[in-house]
Amino acid sequence: MLRLKKKDMVMVMVGKDKGKKGEIKEIHPETDKVVVMGVNIASKHKRTTKEKPGGIHKIEIPIHISNVQLICPKCSKPVKTKVSIAASGDKMRACRKCGEVIL
């Protein structure tokens, strides 16, 4: 079960971009990777076509999900999440540090 969702704010915990924060742009559950805005930038060489000019383009490449942690909106720290069950029986993500429900 993936505990991260699209548009979650995360912090990179290891690697060359350690400490950088960004929003999740894409999730690839089959490979357990995420693409984070502004993090893990690589140069991609593209050929010129009729519609698009060629050259060297900067793109974000996927990072393994274990290398990022969710940032709690209440305590503003990178945290691990737990699953809490509401009175209605719904499962929700919650911060392990402050107990705040994360939507």
Q: Could you tell me the CATH number of the domain that includes residue 43?
A: 2.30.30.30
Encoding tokens for residue 84? 């809490």
Predicted local distance difference test score (pLDDT) of residue 1: 53
* Phi/psi-derived region of residue 7, left when phi > 0, alpha when psi is between -120 and 50, beta in every other case: left
Same domain, yes or no: 59 and 9: yes
Beta-strand relationship, 68-71 and 78-79? antiparallel
Same domain, yes or no: 64 and 86: no
Same domain, yes or no: 58 and 78: no
Record the pTM: 0.83
Predicted local distance difference test score (pLDDT) of residue 99: 84
Q: How many CB atoms lie within 10 A of CB 35?
A: 18
Predicted local distance difference test score (pLDDT) of residue 100: 86
pLDDT per residue rounded down to tens, the chain (103 residues): 568 999 999 999 999 999 999 999 999 999 999 999 999 999 999 999 999 999 999 999 999 999 999 999 998 999 988 888 888 888 888 988 888 888 7
Q: How far apart are CA 8 and CA 37, in angstroms?
A: 11
Same domain, yes or no: 67 and 80: no
Same domain, yes or no: 55 and 99: no
Same domain, yes or no: 16 and 56: yes
Range of the domain at 80: 74-103
Predicted local distance difference test score (pLDDT) of residue 103: 79
